[in-house]
C-alpha cells in the first residue's frame, strides 16, 4: 500500500482495485491495481512519469469500446483519458481556414460521436455518428464505416512519446501514423499516446450534414446488435478465397472479385450465428459481434473467438484477425 499512498498524495483522485468491467462497453474485466480518470493532458503526463519512475506498468484507454479486459484484471495502472459531461461551449476547438478546407484542433479525450454532433457546418465525419469511444480511440484503430475512415480526415496528431526515459510531446503528420485498414502506428503501441488531433474538414450546409447524420444513424440502428459488446470482433478479410471453395459459395463470388470479404458473412456461412459459450454469444443479428448476455467472462469470449478462427480456417483456408484489443 505504500506505493499507492505515495501516489495518492500527488494524485488525490487515484483509486485502487477498481473493476474494469465498469469501464468497458463489454461489461467484462477484473480489477485494476491502480486507477485514474483524467481529461487533463498535464496530469496524464505526470502520472505516466511517476508510473515509469516506480516501474509500474500502465495502460491508457478511452471509453473501453474496443477492449476485452481479462477477468484477472490489470496488475498496474489503468488511466482513463476521457472527457465527460461536455458542453459545446467548453469543447475548446481551435480552427483555421484555408482555400480548400477547415483545420480544427481538438482534444483526443472527446467522445467521437459527441464531437460529430457538435461540428455544425463542418463536414467529413458524418459516417462516424454512433461509433462509441473517444476521438483518440477512433484514430488508434483507424475507425471507419460506409467506406470512409478517420484517416481520411487526419492532418496531424499530437502524441506523448514515452519510448525513451523522457516523456516527449511531438507532432506526427498523417503519413507518420502508418494508417491501414483498422490499424495505425498507435494500435498495440503503448509508447505513443494520442492527446490532441488536427482534423481536415469541409464547409457544407448544416441541414445537409444533419440529414447525412440521421441517415447514418438509421443505417447503424438496423445493423447494430443490441446488448453489451465491443463492436466488430474481427477485421474484414482483404484478399481472395480459392476458387475451389468459392464454387460451393456462389454468393461470395462478387466479394472475392473485389478482394474484400466481410468477416461477419464468413462466420455466418460457418453456421456460427447464435453459438454460445457460457454467457458469450455470437449475435443472431450480426455474426461479427459477440454479446455478453449478462455474466460472460473473458475466457468465454476468447474461447468463442478461437472457435470462430478455427472454423473459418477449416472452411475457407484463411485466417481472421481480431479488430479488438485484448488485455
Between CA 121 and CA 101 the distance in angstroms is 12
Between CA 37 and CA 15 the distance in angstroms is 9
pLDDT of residue 23: 96
Between CA 118 and CA 46 the distance in angstroms is 30
Between CA 249 and CA 83 the distance in angstroms is 47
Which of 56-65, 124-133, 162-171, 288-297 is predicted least confidently? 162-171
pLDDT of residue 91: 72
Contact present, 184 and 156 (Cβ < 8 Å): no
The catalytic residue positions are 182, 232, 323
pLDDT of residue 299: 97
Between CA 84 and CA 298 the distance in angstroms is 27
pLDDT of residue 2: 84
pLDDT of residue 156: 97
> What average pLDDT does range 190-217 have in this prediction?
94
- What is the phi/psi pair of residue 264, to 5°? -60, -35
> What average pLDDT does range 282-297 have in this prediction?
97
Q: What is the pLDDT of residues 70-109, one digit of tens each?
A: 999 999 999 999 987 766 655 778 889 887 899 999 999 9
Residues 6+ apart with CB under 8 A from 66: 133, 137, 141, 230, 231, 323, 324, 325
**What pairs with residue 202 in β-bridges?**
123
* Whether pLDDT at 291 is above 90: yes
Which of 212-221, 260-269, 275-284, 306-315 is predicted least confidently? 212-221
- Nearest 5°: the CA angle 184, 62, 67 is 70
Amino acid at each position: 500500500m505504500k506505493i499507492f499512498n505515495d501516489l495518492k498524495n500527488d494524485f488525490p483522485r487515484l483509486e485502487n482495485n477498481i473493476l474494469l468491467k465498469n469501464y468497458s462497453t463489454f461489461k467484462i474485466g477484473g480489477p485494476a491495481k491502480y486507477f485514474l480518470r483524467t481529461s487533463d493532458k498535464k496530469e496524464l503526463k505526470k502520472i505516466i512519469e511517476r508510473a515509469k519512475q516506480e516501474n509500474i506498468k500502465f495502460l491508457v484507454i478511452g471509453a473501453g469500446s474496443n477492449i476485452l479486459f481479462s477477468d484477472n484484471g490489470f496488475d498496474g495502472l489503468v488511466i482513463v483519458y476521457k472527457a465527460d459531461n461536455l458542453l459545446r461551449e467548453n469543447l475548446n476547438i481551435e480552427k483555421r481556414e484555408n482555400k480548400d478546407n477547415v483545420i480544427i484542433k481538438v482534444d483526443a479525450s472527446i467522445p467521437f460521436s459527441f464531437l460529430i454532433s457538435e461540428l455544425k457546418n463542418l463536414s467529413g465525419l458524418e459516417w462516424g455518428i454512433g461509433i462509441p469511444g473517444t476521438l483518440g480511440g477512433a484514430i488508434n484503430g483507424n475507425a471507419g464505416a460506409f467506406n470512409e475512415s478517420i484517416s481520411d480526415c487526419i492532418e496531424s496528431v499530437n502524441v506523448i512519446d514515452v519510448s525513451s526515459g523522457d516523456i516527449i510531446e511531438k507532432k506526427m503528420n498523417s503519413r507518420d501514423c502508418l494508417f491501414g485498414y483498422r490499424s495505425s502506428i498507435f494500435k498495440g503501441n503503448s509508447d505513443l499516446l494520442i492527446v490532441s488531433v488536427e482534423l481536415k474538414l469541409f464547409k457544407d450546409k448544416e441541414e445537409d450534414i444533419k440529414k447525412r447524420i440521421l441517415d447514418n444513424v438509421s443505417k447503424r440502428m438496423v445493423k447494430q446488435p443490441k446488448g453489451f459488446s465491443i463492436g466488430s470482433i474481427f477485421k474484414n478479410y482483404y484478399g481472395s478465397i480459392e476458387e475451389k471453395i468459392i464454387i460451393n459459395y456462389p454468393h461470395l463470388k462478387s466479394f472475392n472479385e473485389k478482394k474484400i470479404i466481410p468477416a461477419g458473412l464468413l462466420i455466418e456461412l460457418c453456421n456460427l450465428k447464435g453459438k454460445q459459450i457460457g454467457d458469450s454469444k455470437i449475435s443472431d443479428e450480426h455474426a461479427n459481434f459477440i454479446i455478453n448476455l449478462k455474466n460472460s467472462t473473458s475466457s468465454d469470449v476468447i474461447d468463442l473467438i478461437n472457435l470462430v478462427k478455427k472454423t473459418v480456417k477449416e472452411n475457407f483456408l484463411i485466417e481472421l484477425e481480431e479488430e479488438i484489443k485484448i488485455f
